[in-house]
Amino acid sequence: MKIAIAGGSGTVGRYVVESVTKSGHEALILSRSSGFDLVGGVGLVDALARVEVIIDVSNPSTTNGAKASSFFTAVTKNLHASGSQAGVQRFVSLSIVGIDNFPFGYYQAKLAQEEAVFAGPLSANVIRATQFHEFAAQILHRTKRGPVAAMPMMQIQPIAARAVGQVLCEAAMSAPLQEISEIAGPRVESLVAMSRKIMRERGSRAVVIPIRVPGTAGKMMRGGGQLPSTGAQLVGPTFADWLLTTDANLPPL
């Protein structure tokens, strides 16, 4: 089977590619770094020749709601249209758990993407994942100033990006269900506690300061608005176990 991975050189995409090839299938990487313009769509029909499934884990370089929405809808429509012309059978798209609960612009863009996924001609599945184990380090990288790092008070159930890639690969080889499903890691974590674990692993003495985000969004963050539903599939290692693996190649702090 030949499987195209849109965004195949990114955080999750590289694990999708690895899972596809380990399963004995052929992976085609569709990304800017491999010479493909997913937004413009030029050349996609020819590139998708002999492809049976498209897995979309592409992501814009911005979290601006309007720009992200424009990116997601354009890419999704192009992949659907080009895939349909090339004879692709089905489409799998990655989304985020809890995006219905927050008015964030980027989350609204992901909802627009989901709508475009199911509006296209190809049979499709959307898999919503919780935040990745890498999430805490990414926030630390942006907020740490000298010996202090600010961290929002948030309850999440993080998942390993490698596990997400494996689930997406499995979904590509299954019959399309035209539905949204959820995946998450095995344990609920505090983002503040995760950040402090990272600091200890790094031998850093920096102090993590919990920040209480105001308003309805902050209340949802603290109260589990980003946690998965009871029907979510739980996969992969806990955050503590993941920190001990070679996948925990965290950005410098």
Q: Where are the domains of the chain?
A: 2-242
Residue in 207, 211, 162, 199 with CA at minimum distance from that of residue 183: 162
Q: Residue 142: is its pLDDT beyond 90?
A: no
Measured CA to CA, the distance from residue 51 to residue 166 in angstroms comes to 19
Instruction: Point out the least confidently predicted range of 117-121, 125-129, 204-208.
Output: 204-208
Whole-angstrom Cα Rg for the chain: 18
CA terminus-to-terminus distance, the chain: 41
Contact 97, 128 (CB under 8 A): yes
Q: What is the pLDDT of residues 211-224, one digit of tens each?
A: 999 988 889 889 98
| Residue 5 identity (one-letter amino acid) | I
Cα 19 to its chain centre, rounded Å, is: 16
Distance CA(25)–CA(6), nearest Å, equals 16
What confidence score (pLDDT) does residue 35 get? 86
Tell me the percentage of the chain whose pLDDT exceeds 70: 98
**In the prediction, which pLDDT does 204 show?**
81
Average pLDDT, the chain: 93
Structure-token pair, residue 191: 């983002």
**Structure pTM?**
0.93
Q: CA angle at residue 87 from 83 to 93, to 5 degrees?
A: 40
Q: Which residues pair with residue 208 across a beta bridge?
A: 149
Name which residue leads in pLDDT, 176 or 240: 240
For tokens 């344990």, what's the residue?
187
Could you please state the CATH topology (level 3) that the domain comprising 2-242 is classified under: Rossmann fold (3.40.50)
Encoded amino acid at 180, one letter: I
pLDDT (mean) for 149-172: 96
Q: Packing angle between helix 105-119 and helix 65-86, nearest 10 degrees?
A: 20
pLDDT of 251 higher than 60: no
In 7-104 the beta strands, taken as DSSP E runs, fall at 26-30, 53-56, 90-96
Query: At residue 146, does pLDDT exceed 90?
Result: no
Average pLDDT over residues 104-121: 96
pLDDT digits (tens, 9 = 90+) for 174-229: 877 789 999 999 999 999 999 999 988 888 888 999 999 998 888 988 998 999 99
